[in-house]
Amino acid sequence: MTVTARPGDPIITPALVAEHGLTTDEYDRLVAMLGRTPTFTELGIVSALWSEHCSYKHSRPLLRTLPTSAPHVLQGPGENAGVIAIGDGMAVAFKIESHNHPSAVEPYQGAATGVGGILRDVFTMGARPVALLNSLRFGSLDSARVRYLFAGCVKGIGDYGNCVGIPTVAGEVVFDPAYEGNPLVNAMCVGLLKESELMRAVAQGVGNPIIAVGARTGRDGIHGASFASEDLSEGSDAKRPRVQVGDPFTEKLLLEASLELIHSGHIVAIQDMGAAGLTSSSAEMAARGDVGVVIDTLKVPAREEGMTPYELLLSESQERMLVVAKKGREEQVRAILEKWDLTAAVIGEVIAEPVYRVVEGDRVVAEFPGIRLVTDCPTYEPEARESDDIRRRRERNVDAIAERPKEVDPVWTLEELLRSPTIASKRWVFQQYDHTIRTSTVIGPGGDAAVVRIRGTDRAIALKTDCNGRYTYLDPREGARIAVAEAARNVACTGARPMAITNNLNFGNPKRPEVYYQLREAVAGMAEACTALGTPVTGGNVSLYNENPSGAVYPTPVIGMVGLVESLAHVTRSAFSTAGDTIVLLGDNTAEIGGSEYLQRIHDTVAGHPPRCDLTAERKLIDALLEAIREGAVRSAHDTADGGLAVALAECVMMDRACATGAEVDLGKWSSLPLRALLFGEAQGRVVVSTPDPQAVLATAARHGVPASTIGTVKHSGSLDIRIGGHRLKASVPSLAEAYHEAIPRIMQRSASAQDVALTSDAVV
């Protein structure tokens, strides 16, 4: 069929091509593929599908190197979400997704719609969402703008998840000037399904109708995908009309209707209309099924009058799905949607001819040969070179940094670290998230990882996101290895075997050699760790161009880990609970302070080698810990992370403010180490355990070749008392608790009213 330009469409000029983010080379490829000049509609389609966000053109070759298979992986990367089997015929679908750019412009709606999108990715697999997580990065809370972004994102995440009724059970929040102007907002969703109910988004069956479901299409978010593929600049402000508004109420209806549709057997495929909207959902489903499709834009329910095919195809209006139904079942599909007060419109069909065709009534406005629209996108492996500046920072001798006078009193240092917003309690955040709905949250936010039970079984899943961007900045490979290892350790501390990960690669502009170096190294590190720990990658998301004129964010490969608790009896919490229990340290202390929160917070320094990550040791540690837990020997387990051993011990005695304890600890065994490294260094592979049966824990550790030492006793003394040779640190638990629990509320009080006001516009007032 012949493609004709629509009257009134702009003429294709080099300037227009550039505006659409295509390079000259890419444009030439397009012309070669079509054998002619594209129409305006076609240019729009390609600009969206070949955007970084949709095509992964700078990351795909790297992502191919990740380990993705294992017997329990039912669905690896490439689908809406990854799926793993967890026994008893049950499976878990999970995925993480970024909404960094939208959140920088409009934090409330940006973060909220991020949650909406990731929920849809999971329920379109046939899974019922049972948990949400989020991983957030902001600049320093000293800035009013940052407080506004932080408060807005948290409220957006909360309002959306709360309204749909999915508990938000875990996550992380990090504050660092590196994220000033470029907040990172990653949301993860986890769903449960029966293995037999797994649904894939593969268009099939010539003659099957393609149905648009859910909200009407408006002009919002047009070109969001390409927007997410650019640096944030002055010009970004002008792009504000692209903001999308979320409607969690419609999402809830869509969730129930989609699951009912999938279970009804009336449909063959379903996919969220996410980034690049109708275009990407239809093209991707067609490509996966290796079939042709035709879409008639006149049939797409529009919210506004006079919308062009270009706009209808590229709109990112939220809460919409694309369904391929079985031919002849249109009425049944419509009936299910009507029950949930949703509309459905047949907008196209699967065809035998291998083309991707868009018509507007009688006129063909776009036509691409077969699946080449998706597969012809070029990939790039740009030059990679480490930044000299970063290398110099890493090589710097941080041990030579002189102590500040106040550090004479390590309690001062400890409280200063506990007050650091990155370490301090995030209760201010997660109190705004409903984490008890669905009555399955065995461990909610505030522990090492969340634990969500699986009703009808004795099992549970453990969930956590993790990444230390400072480590990855100083050494991308080591940093990414640590991110995986720490996520695994957190999950293991709750009694779960780490099973698989999803990941979100948040990086700067890959065309800069130093950024592409970070990306390449981080992916390599992630692959090494996932292989060593037996946790394949089932999916993820790449967000590049997280830069503004003053530079890129820290390379931040966020890991979303899923673990399996085989019996509810194994569920383990992180705080000390019982006076008289023995405190055992699994793993060993070292003299490493490079890249630590201590250097950042106390010395305003980002330098040195991040701690070494020994993956073999990490694996043994996890095995030993899980075995000790299964033996019933472990009362509590908490890994050491930001702020090191002293912070971990402080957290153990007061993270649960209502049942604070105390402890007497003797670290004399390590008195030859520099005191600050022992207390605040962030050596990897360590877990603080409290136990009524230390002999059993020590024996199990020995069997696995894991160093283990008895370091103290849990007390109800109200103080944390640490002796190291001749040194003694005695901290009052209420005062530690005050530092840890009040830090963020106190900062946010400064401007709490301002954000609440600026946010009252939002739906849930």
Partner 1 sequence: MTFGIVTFPGSNGDYDALRAPIEALGEHAIYLWHKDHDLQNVDVVILPGGFSYGDYLRAGAIARFSPIMREVVAHAERGGPVVAFCNGFQIACEAGLLPGALLRNASLKFVCAPISLRVERTDTLFTSGYEQGQIITLPIAHGDGRYSADDATLERLEGDGQIVFRYAPDPLQAAEAYNPNGSMRDIAGIVNAQGNVLGMMPHPERAVDPLLGPADGVALFESILNHVAV
Partner 2 sequence: MSRYRVAVHVAPRRGLLDPQGKAVADALHSLGFGGVADVHVGRYLVLDVDARDETEARAETGRMCAQLLANPVTEDFEIASVSRP
Ligand X SMILES: Nc1ncnc2c1ncn2[C@@H]1O[C@H](COP(=O)(O)OP(=O)(O)O)[C@@H](O)[C@H]1O
Q: Which of 20, 58, 72, 99 is catalytic?
A: 99
CA distances from 482 to 166, 337, 486 (A): 29, 46, 6
Catalytic site includes residue 223: no
User: Would you give the binding string for partner 2 spanning residues 316-345, x where CB under 8 A is met?
Assistant: -xx----------------------x----
Among 55, 68, 134, 596, binds ligand X (CB under 6 A): 134
Determine if residue 523 is left, alpha or beta; phi over 0 gives left, psi from -120 to 50 gives alpha, anything else beta: alpha
Stretch that binds partner 2, among 17-25, 66-74, 324-332, 747-755 (CB under 8 A): 747-755
Binds 26: which of partner 2, ligand X, Mg ion, none (CB < 5-8 Å by kind):
none
Chosen from partner 2, Mg ion, partner 1, none, partner binding at 761 (C-beta under 5 to 8 Å by type): partner 2
Residue 718 exposure: Cα atoms within 13 Å on the Cβ side: 3
Residue 249 or residue 298: which is nearer to partner 1 going by CB? 249
Q: In what order do the strands lie in the sheet with 636-639?
A: 636-639, 687-691, 582-586, 708-715, 662-666, 719-724, 727-732
**Count of residues near ligand X by CB under 6 A:** 19
- Residue 299 in contact with ligand X, rule: CB under 6 A: no
Report if residue 230 touches Mg ion, rule: CB under 5 A. no
Give the one entry of Mg ion, partner 2, ligand X, none that residue 447 binds, where binding means its C-beta sits below a cut-off of 5 to 8 angstroms depending on kind. ligand X
Q: How far is the CB of 245 from partner 1 (least distance, A)?
A: 12
Q: Which does 573 bind (CB under 5 to 8 A by kind): Mg ion, ligand X, partner 1, none?
A: none
Of the listed 20, 53, 72, 266, which one is catalytic?
53
| Measured CA distances, 49 to 79, 195, 347 (Å) | 16, 31, 20
Give the integer Cα–Cα distance in Å for 508 and 718.
46
* Residue 99 annotated as catalytic: yes
Which residues in the 186-225 window bind partner 2 by CB under 8 A?
215, 218-220
Q: Which residues pair with 710 in a beta bridge?
A: 584
Please count the other Cβ atoms lying within 10 Å of the Cβ belonging to residue 218. Answer: 19
The option from Mg ion, ligand X, partner 2, none interacting with 182 (CB < 5 to 8 A, set by class) reads none
Judged on CB neighbours under 10 Å (0-12, 13-18, 19+), 535 is buried
Nearer to partner 1 by Cβ, of 435 and 497: the residue is 435
* 429 touches, from partner 1, ligand X, partner 2, none (C-beta below 5 to 8 Å by class): ligand X
Cβ(501)–Cβ(559) below 8 Å: yes
170 binding ligand X? (CB under 6 A): yes
Q: Does 448 bind Mg ion (CB under 5 A)?
A: yes
Q: Which is nearer to Mg ion, 468 or 502 (CB)?
A: 468
Site for partner 2 in 470-509 (CB under 8 A): none
> Whole-number minimum distance, CB 448 to Mg ion, in Å?
4
CA–CA dist 276, 105 (Å, integer): 18
Alpha-carbon gap, residue 415 to 424, rounded angstroms: 10
Find the residue with minimal CB distance to Mg ion: 448
Pick what 224 binds: ligand X, partner 1, partner 2, none; C-beta below 5 to 8 Å, kind-dependent: none
Three-state SS at 312: helix
CB of 656 to partner 1, least distance (A): 12
Question: For 375, how many CA atoms within 13 A lie in the half-sphere containing its CB?
Answer: 10
- Residue that the structure tokens 């149905």 belong to: 211
CB atoms closer than 10 angstroms to residue 719: 16
Q: Which is nearer to partner 1, 340 or 516 (CB)?
A: 340
**Contact between 466 and ligand X (CB under 6 A)?**
yes
Q: Which residues pair with 79 in a beta bridge?
A: 77
Query: Applying CB under 8 A, which of residues 249, 338, 567, 734 lies at the interface with partner 2?
Result: 249
> Any contact of residue 597 with ligand X (CB under 6 A)?
no
CA distances from 645 to 15, 173, 471, 679, 688 (A): 57, 20, 18, 5, 8
- Give just the sign of the alpha carbon dihedral 366, 371, 374, 375: negative
Nearest to 491 by CA among 713, 169, 187, 740: 169
Name the segment binding ligand X (CB under 6 A); options: 34-42, 90-98, 444-452, 505-513.
444-452
The binder of partner 2 chosen from 247, 475, 581, 618 (CB under 8 A):
247
Nearer to partner 1 by Cβ, of 417 and 460: the residue is 460
Please name the residues in contact with 361: beta carbons below 8 A apart, sequence gap of 6 or more.
296, 298
Site string for ligand X, 394-433 (x = CB under 6 A): --------------------------------x--xx---
Confirm or reject binding of residue 105 to partner 2 (CB under 8 A): yes
Residue 130: which of 81, 184, 201 has the closest Cα?
81
How do the residues of the chain divide into helix, strand and coil, expressed in percent and rounded to 5?
Answer: 40, 25, 35
User: What residues line the site for partner 2 (CB under 8 A)?
Assistant: 105-106, 109, 215, 218-220, 240-241, 243-247, 249-250, 303-304, 317-318, 341, 751-754, 756-761, 763, 765
User: What residues line the site for ligand X (CB under 6 A)?
Assistant: 134, 136, 168, 170-173, 426, 429-430, 445-448, 450, 466, 490, 641-642
Q: Which residues are catalytic?
A: 53, 99
User: What residues line the site for Mg ion (CB under 5 A)?
Assistant: 448, 490, 639
